[in-house]
Amino acid sequence: FTPGNCYGIIGANGAGKSTFIKILSGELEPSTGSVTIAAKKRMSVLKQNQNMYDDYTVMDTVIMGNQRLYDCGKEKD
């Protein structure tokens, strides 16, 4: 991956896209190999449950990717 770029993952149903993201985010352990995210770098994942975020604004949903920032915003409110 190159710094500053955004990437999409495409593939057929059952190809392993969600599993790949779960491994990258640390939700699942890889069966072989390892995932390393550089120091001071982070990764965010927005889950696929379309109803999970009904009670939030779009801005809140996006900011949830950075838990510290989201918590600070909620304290301010």
Tens of pLDDT, residues 7-50 = 888 999 999 998 998 998 888 999 999 998 888 887 777 777 77
The answer to whether the predicted template modeling score (pTM) of the entire model surpasses 0.85 is no
What is the enclosing helix (H) or strand (E) of 67?
A: helix 67-76
Contacts of 33 (CB under 8 A, 6+ apart): none
User: What is the chain's percent helix, strand, coil content, to nearest 5?
Assistant: 30, 0, 70
Q: How many CB atoms lie under 10 A from the CB of residue 24?
A: 16
